[in-house]
Amino acid sequence: MTLNNIVQLLDLTVACGEEKLSWEIARAFAADLLGDVLRLNATDAILITGLANPQVIRTAELSDIPSILFVRNKPITPEMMEIARESGIVLLQCKHTMFKTCGELYKAGLKSIY
């Protein structure tokens, strides 16, 4: 599934990385604990989180996660976008809860990391 498929499915806002929406995403991981994310190495995954701060982007960068989806309309700051652009990470935003977001992606065929 491409990032563009995910954007269309969930009616997402693309905060940065529009040029990378053709990337293939095979798996998803949902977490608000950065320690859980640090255990991953997931170049084909999207991180789904409600934790919106610059540390999330740095953590995704360390784990080679190419895209982050912020749920519950969490604000994406200019600082976060700048870090994401420097790191080549796509930032997406949606109005749905984490539960609904994960359910819709699972129903559409996206696999879990675990």
Q: How confident is the model over 60-90, as pLDDT tens digits?
A: 999 999 999 999 999 999 999 999 999 999 9
Give the pTM: 0.95
Residue 1: both structure tokens together: 């599934």
Q: How confident is the model over 40-49, as pLDDT tens digits?
A: 878 899 999 9
Residues in contact with 23: Cβ distance below 8 Å, sequence separation at least 6, in sequence order: 2, 3, 66, 67, 90
Residue 72: both structure tokens together: 């519950």
Structural domain containing residue 73: 3-112
What CATH number is attached to the domain comprising 62? 3.40.1390.20
Overall number of domains in the chain: 1
